[in-house]
């Protein structure tokens, strides 16, 4: 018995996952990234020809929700991988093995992206057609930039692990608050607000990494 996958021409042909922008594959073609995970697309299985709108395919909206708990996300990830892992298809056809490998890798990429608040927020924003440019945010408030400068200076001058850890705890608190604010803004459709908050989150995430580097110097 073969496993149901959408027909080959409905799958993205580029397997270079580092360039893949569409993290979640649903079934069928869509016209733009923002249409991903918004609903079912009628398509038949390449093997048995059965409509997949009657036999649910692997990817459903529950894996695309922005405001989802870490435990729920991990549970859904494990469910998908138990179904898609290449080891399960070692005795299947070459086509099924290929589909399994591609989709298993995409699930890994999606899970990694959705697990972290920053990458999840940026991705959800991209689904709406909005992007945050790399480099200094020219629209950032001068007071906010001054605060970041002071934090960075304090971290550079930290003489003990305790001092660095204090900055790390404060930064983590900021990131927690921003995560909630961003999720709320996205749920309300306030995209410009979400974009501005995500730009701030990028700065604090950078400080968080610098704290880790600073603590490694004391080891």
At residue 66, the pLDDT reads 55
| Count of Cβ atoms closer than 10 Å to residue 195 Cβ | 20
The model's confidence at residue 46, banded by pLDDT at 50, 70 and 90, is: low
Query: Does 162 or 18 have the greater pLDDT score?
Result: 162
At residue 166, the pLDDT reads 97
| Cα→Cα distances 9→38, 39, 43, Å | 20, 19, 11
The model's confidence at residue 179, banded by pLDDT at 50, 70 and 90, is: very high
At residue 70, the pLDDT reads 81
DSSP state of 44: B
SS (H, E, C) 71-87: HHHHHHHHHHHHHHCHH
Average pLDDT, the chain: 77
Query: Does 67 or 109 have the greater pLDDT score?
Result: 109
Residues 138 and 205: their CA atoms lie apart, in Å, by 18
Selection from 120, 118, 96, 95 nearest residue 109 by Cα: 120
The model's confidence at residue 87, banded by pLDDT at 50, 70 and 90, is: confident
* In the predicted structure, residue 21 carries a pLDDT above the cut 90: no
């Amino acid at each position: 018995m073969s496993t149901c996958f959408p027909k080959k021409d409905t799958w993205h042909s580029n397997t270079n996952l580092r360039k893949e922008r569409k993290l979640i594959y649903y079934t069928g073609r869509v016209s733009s990234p923002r249409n991903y995970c918004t609903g079912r697309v009628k398509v038949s299985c390449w093997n048995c020809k059965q409509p997949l709108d009657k036999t649910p395919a692997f990817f459903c909206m529950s894996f695309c929700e922005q405001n989802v708990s870490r435990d729920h996300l991990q549970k859904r990830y494990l469910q998908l991988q138990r179904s898609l892992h290449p080891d399960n298809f070692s005795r299947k056809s070459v086509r099924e093995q290929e589909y399994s490998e591609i989709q298993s890798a995409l699930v890994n990429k999606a899970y990694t992206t959705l697990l972290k608040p920053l990458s999840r927020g940026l991705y959800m924003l991209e689904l709406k057609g909005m992007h945050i440019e790399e480099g200094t945010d020219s629209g950032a408030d001068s007071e906010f930039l001054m605060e970041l400068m002071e934090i960075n200076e304090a971290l550079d001058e930290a003489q003990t692990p305790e001092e660095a850890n204090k900055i790390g705890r404060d930064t983590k608190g900021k990131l927690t608050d921003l995560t909630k604010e961003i999720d709320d803004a996205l749920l309300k459709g306030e995209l410009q607000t979400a974009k501005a908050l995500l730009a701030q989150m990028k700065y604090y995430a950078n400080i968080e990494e610098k704290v880790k580097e600073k603590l490694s110097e004391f080891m």
